[in-house]
Structure 1
Amino acid sequence: MEYLLQVKIGALIGLLLLTLFFGFIPARVKWFRHTDGTETHRTVLSLISCFAGGVFLAACLLDIIPDYLSDINSVLDARKLEINFPLPEFIMAAGFFTVLILERMVLNCREARRTLASERAPLIQDSRNSHGHGHIHGAATGPDLESSGHHVHVDFQAHSPFRSFMLFLSLSLHSVFEGLAIGLQNTDSKVLEICIAILVHKSIIVFSLSVKLVQSAIRPLWLAAYIGVFAMMSPLGIAIGISVMEAQLEAGTLIQSILEGLAAGTFIYITFLEILPHELNSPGKQLLKVLFILLGFSIMAALTFLG
């Protein structure tokens, strides 16, 4: 086995193990899953979430979008396609609207089921069993639903499992392309350089992703599956790149670029309509939250600057 292939396989294994390690810290440590603790505990969790928001904001603006625009413009230039239309930006918008439409459909189905259930409920409760609770149940379906103990609307809008899944999906797709970049290299020094950068970058990303998944109240089995699958994405990309290099085939760069654009649009939606609004719209410690968002952004920006 030649040395370059050994280096790529080593990078594959290293990325897999390190991603699993950092991903399972929030998933396995009870402190992150404890939601009804003290005020200090809730504040610290919120600040960690803000830090994760800053990380995702930096990943969106400094990593995913620039990589995508560079790739698709290179593909268009190579094919000598001159289009008087902002096609790269349109593909990102398509990814954005895909998530928006899917989420609205999910919300509409939930609302329809809730309305149907309320229509089937008896108008007059059985006085022998209700003990005067009929008025309370009626009030729970009115405007005060969001302020009730269940927080049905608030929780779904804030940390919905659907949005967490889309965040996982877009990051996973991007991780495949990161791994592909390693697998397609033809020098061992370049492989090590890119691998170290991705290791540092992905360790912070997977930790932040795991925090968001924990906050979405996803079942532990599904959470473990999400982290496991995400950890395998970069190694999968490396394996695809190795296969392409060994077979000496040309990669489908145009399809790859289109998928990158859809993933970038998805990530824009999740970052600006899910993560940041939830943290900034919740009361308390507003300036401190902004500071932690800036901290997460600055760390990722520094890593990007250092290459």
Structure 2
Amino acid sequence: MEYLLQLKIGALFGLLLLTLLVGFIPARVKWFRDTNGTETHRTVLSLISCFAGGVFLAACLLDILPDYLSDIRTELVARQVQSSFPIPEFILAGGFFIVLVLEKLVLHCQERRVHAGEREPLLQGNGHGHGHGEVVRPELESRGHHIHVDLQAHSPFRSFMLFLSLSLHSVFEGLAIGLQNTDSKVLEICIAILVHKSIIVFSLSVKLVQSGLRAGWVAAYLGVFALMSPLGIAMGIGVMEARVGSGALVQAVLEGLAAGTFVYITFLEILPHELNSPGRQLLKVLFLLLGFCVMAGLTFVS
């Protein structure tokens, strides 16, 4: 077996094991799943969630979007497609609207099945519900202040879409390793992805736990997510061994749809939930910036 192929197979198993190991820390440690702890405990969980929000914001702006725009423009130039219409941005918007329409269809169907009287206790007692409303704290209402709480935040549907967009991106990251033809490039990309993905999967696991999913579903999501980069590596190895075209244009379009999905989840779910919830606003912003800076530093180094 060639040394290059051995490196790729080693990267495949390394990514699989590391993703599972890091991802199951929030999923299996009771501390992350306990929502009835002390005020300090809830504050720390909130700050960890803000850090994860900064990680996803950086992943969106510094990783997923630049990768997609570079790939799609390269393919359009290679195929001599010339148009004044912004095709890359249109594909991105397509991914955004796919999630928006699907989510609203799900919510519409749920609203038709559940009467308002049956839904009211759920909205008042569970921040993970699927409805969308406004929670007003009585002590603040008399002063003319209203605290808006996103009752759709961390819903199972949005958690699934976050998982799906990150999984597609992981496949493309794996492809980047599998399609390399030099040892040094495989090692360079693999190390960058190992560090990058360990932070991403930890943040994803935190969000899945916070969505209220059952432990079995969280484990299933993390297991499938862990397989995505190895799947991409295997696909890349197969393409290299078979000496066939990689379908780069199809890959770029799928990257665009995944990027649009990630834009929606980042800016309409993760950030609003973290920044609109009351208490310790400056500290939350600090941890949001910390998560962003950590990912930005890793992107700069890699």
Q: Same fold (TM over 0.5)?
A: yes
In structure 1, stretches of 5+ residues that fail to align are: 119-137
- Structure 2 CA distance, aligned partners of 1:44 and 1:286? 13
- Once the two structures are TM-superposed, the CA of residue 283 in structure 1 deviates from its matched residue by 0.4
Once the two structures are superposed, the pairs formed by residues 1-307 of structure 1 within 5 Å of their partners are 1-115=1-115, 146=123, 148-151=124-127, 152=129, 153=131, 157-307=152-302
- Once the two structures are TM-superposed, the CA of residue 293 in structure 1 deviates from its matched residue by 0.4
Q: Which has the higher contact order (CA 8 A, sep 6+)?
A: 1
- Once the two structures are TM-superposed, the CA of residue 83 in structure 1 deviates from its matched residue by 1.2
Q: Which residue matches 2:146?
A: none
Give the alignment's TM-score, normalised by structure 1. Answer: 0.90
Amino acid at match of 1:194: I
| CA deviation vs aligned residue, 1:174-207 (integer Å, no higher than 9, x gap) | 0000000000000011000000000000000000
- Once the two structures are TM-superposed, the CA of residue 156 in structure 1 deviates from its matched residue by 5.1
Amino acid at match of 2:271: L
Secondary structure of 1:283 counterpart:
coil
- Once the two structures are TM-superposed, the CA of residue 150 in structure 1 deviates from its matched residue by 4.0
Amino acid at match of 2:13: I
Amino acid at match of 1:295: L
- Once the two structures are TM-superposed, the CA of residue 149 in structure 1 deviates from its matched residue by 2.4
- Over 3 Å counting, the alpha-carbon distance change for 1:145 and 1:241 in structure 2 is closer
- Structure 2 CA distance, aligned partners of 1:141 and 1:24? 33
- Once the two structures are TM-superposed, the CA of residue 141 in structure 1 deviates from its matched residue by 5.9
| CA deviation vs aligned residue, 1:228-262 (integer Å, no higher than 9, x gap) | 00000000000000000000011101100000000
- Structure 1 CA distance, aligned partners of 2:297 and 2:211? 29
| CA deviation vs aligned residue, 1:98-135 (integer Å, no higher than 9, x gap) | 000000011111111113xx6xxxxxxxxxxxxxxxxx
Secondary structure of 2:125 counterpart:
coil
Q: Which runs of 4+ in 1 moved over 4 A?
A: none
- Over 3 Å counting, the alpha-carbon distance change for 1:199 and 1:40 in structure 2 is same
- Once the two structures are TM-superposed, the CA of residue 84 in structure 1 deviates from its matched residue by 1.3
Larger Rg: 1
CA RMSD of aligned residues (A): 1.4
- Over 3 Å counting, the alpha-carbon distance change for 1:61 and 1:150 in structure 2 is closer
Identity %: 77
| CA deviation vs aligned residue, 1:27-59 (integer Å, no higher than 9, x gap) | 000000000110000000000000000000000
| CA deviation vs aligned residue, 1:133-176 (integer Å, no higher than 9, x gap) | xxxxx6x766x874x32454367501100000000000000000
